[in-house]
Copies of this chain bind each other. A is one copy, B any other.
Amino acid sequence: MEFLVQLGKNAAAAKYELQKLTTKQKDKALLAVADALIKESAEILAENEKDIIAGEKKGMHPGLLDRLRLTQERINGMAEGLRQVVELPDPIGEVIEAFERPNGLSIEKRRVPMGVIGMIYESRPNVTADAFGLCFKSGNAVILKGGSDAICSNRAITKVIRKALRTEGITEDAVQLIESTDRAVTQAFMHLKEYVDLLIPRGGAGLIKSVVENSTIPVIETGTGNCHVYIDEFADCDMAVSIIINAKTQRIGVCNACESLVIHEAVKDKVLPLLSDACKKHHVEIRGDEKVAQVIDCKPACEEDYGTEYLDYIISMKTVSSIDEAIDHINKYNTRHSEAIITENKEHAEKFLKEVDAACVYVNASTRFTDGFEFGFGAEIGISTQKLHARGPMGLKELTSYKYVIKGNGQIR
């Protein structure tokens, strides 16, 4: 794996150059890359076509083929994404804290780039440009390992980015692609600890599990979302239905979609018929516990349903007799992503917000808002479901670390 070590060394060298760039230099380069992507669209689309043909030949699922496919519009979207990153404030150099010690030492906590970031992701070529943009603006070198089905597309996009950087007088090793589609290479990449400071897997549960279990590099887990909405005894039932249908159906294949309802018994007779009608209208299958089945037509929910991220037009429903039972149920089955309570009772709201263990906890709003754009962070590199470093939507700041800068005049201990 000598070539992999070489990529690591290149990135480690590039990071020292990148941390010296001014915001202006970085923004100018990002705009140049955006322009180059548009200008070189034909080449990128031609290479993408090769991936599509190979994908069709091997009988790839239409949904995956769709993610793999680039169009002029999608390339425009990638360029637009980079231009939006230009508009975001540069996090590097920010003084997070500053204080002076009694011995006269002045201590500053300064935001610095992470250094070298590794990304492992599935066959979505747009991630190649997105990941570069966020890593670059935050002063990091990035090594990309995209899905093997997108190899031609990723190679073309990376080539365009590197050429544009070179033209700007910036090290092209700011972005490097692992071109090998050998799984052993991916394994070795996860052990490139000497050169890579952070590894971010982005994709399905299997990919993420594999990275978490195999990497010796620190990982941020961007996880799956088994998100719940709890309809409290003090809920506005119409609001509940509106939020649940939105959280369930506005986009079914995403991690912040609602997969499971928890319903206080006191409101089940009122809210369940409303939910049943709305679900029928939106073609959502209901799997309910016994008490749900007493009120509306539904399939029975088994234990497994409560732990399943359907990513489909299916929702499980569980009744509880108290908010404590609701919180216990959610803490048992959720994936620490996004959880909502519908209630008009402030104490219940505060209890839920405090006691439910998740990156994002909501009162009276759809879980679909867990998103970097919706939070106002601009683009996001993923949504973290771990507690270390970053939790929830990760924007530019979450791709940084800090250092302590200590100034003295001869202090010793």
Bound-state Cα–Cα, A410 to B360, Å: 16
B contact residues around A408 at 8 Å (CB): 362-365
Q: Is the CB of A360 within 8 A of B19?
A: no
CB nearest neighbor in B for A410: B239
B363 adjacent to A412 (CB under 8 Å): no
Residues of B within 8 A of A403 (CB): 358-361, 391-392
Measured between beta carbons, the chain B residues less than 8 angstroms from A236 are 410
A410-B243 in contact given A19-B355, A360-B404, A387-B197 (Cβ < 8 Å): yes
Q: In the bound complex, do residue A20 and residue B412 qualify as a contact, i.e. CB atoms below 8 Å apart? A: no
**How large, as a class, is the contact surface on chain A?**
35 or more
Closest chain-B Cβ to A15's Cβ sits at a distance in Å of: 8
Q: Of B197, B354, B361, which is within 8 A of A19 by CB?
A: B354
A407 at the binding interface (Cβ < 8 Å): yes
- Interface residues in A389-413 by Cβ distance below 8 A to B read 389, 391-392, 401-413
| A370 contacts across to B, CB distance below 8 A | 404
For residue A388, CB closer than 8 A to chain B, the reply is: yes
What secondary structure prevails in chain A residues at the interface with B? mixed
Task: State the oligomeric state as a number of copies.
Answer: 2
Cβ of A374 within 8 Å of any chain B Cβ, yes or no, is yes
| Chain B proximity mask over A88-132: 1 for CB below 8 Å, otherwise 0 | 000000000001010001010000001100000000000000000
- Whether the Cβ atoms of B368 and A409 lie closer than 8 Å is no
A406-B250 CB under 8 A given contacts A216-B213, A388-B197, A413-B369 = no
Contact with B along A357-382 (1 / 0, CB 8 A): 11111111110111000111000000
Task: Please give the distance in Å from A197's CB to the nearest CB on chain B.
Answer: 5
A386 contact set on B, CB distance < 8 A:
197, 218
CA distance A218 to B247 in the complex (A): 30
**A246 CB-CB contact with B under 8 Å:** yes
Q: Which B-chain residue is minimally distant from A401 (CB atoms)?
A: B387
Say whether A407 contacts B365, CB under 8 Å. yes
Least Cβ distance of A169 to chain B in Å?
19
Closest-by-CB residue of B relative to A107 is: B375
Determine the chain B residues whose CB is within 8 A of the CB of A243 once the complex forms. Answer: 410, 412
A212 CB within 8 Å of chain B: yes
In contact, B369 and A411 (Cβ under 8 angstroms): yes
Whether B387 lies near A198 (C-beta < 8 A) is: yes
Q: Is A220 an interface residue (CB 8 A)?
A: yes
For the complex, is A71 an interface residue (Cβ under 8 Å from B)?
no
A16 to B332, CA, bound (A): 12
A322 at the interface (CB under 8 A from B): no
Residues of B close to A357: CB separation below 8 A = 16, 115
Q: Is A353 an interface residue (CB 8 A)?
A: yes
Which of B198, B368, B374 is the one whose CB lies under 8 Å from A101?
B374
Q: Is the C-beta of A23 less than 8 angstroms from some C-beta in chain B?
A: no
A331 on the interface (CB 8 Å rule)?
Answer: yes
Cα distance, A409 to B363, chains bound together (Å): 8
Interface residue? A242 (CB, 8 A)? yes
Given contacts A364-B408, A370-B404, 6 further A-B contacts (CB under 8 A): A20-B354, A20-B355, A218-B387, A246-B412, A388-B389, A388-B401
Measuring CB to CB, which residues of chain A are less than 8 angstroms from any residue of chain B?
A: 16, 19-20, 99, 101, 105, 107, 114-115, 193, 197-198, 212-213, 216, 218-221, 236, 239, 242-243, 246-247, 250, 331, 349, 353-355, 357-366, 368-370, 374-376, 386-389, 391-392, 401-413
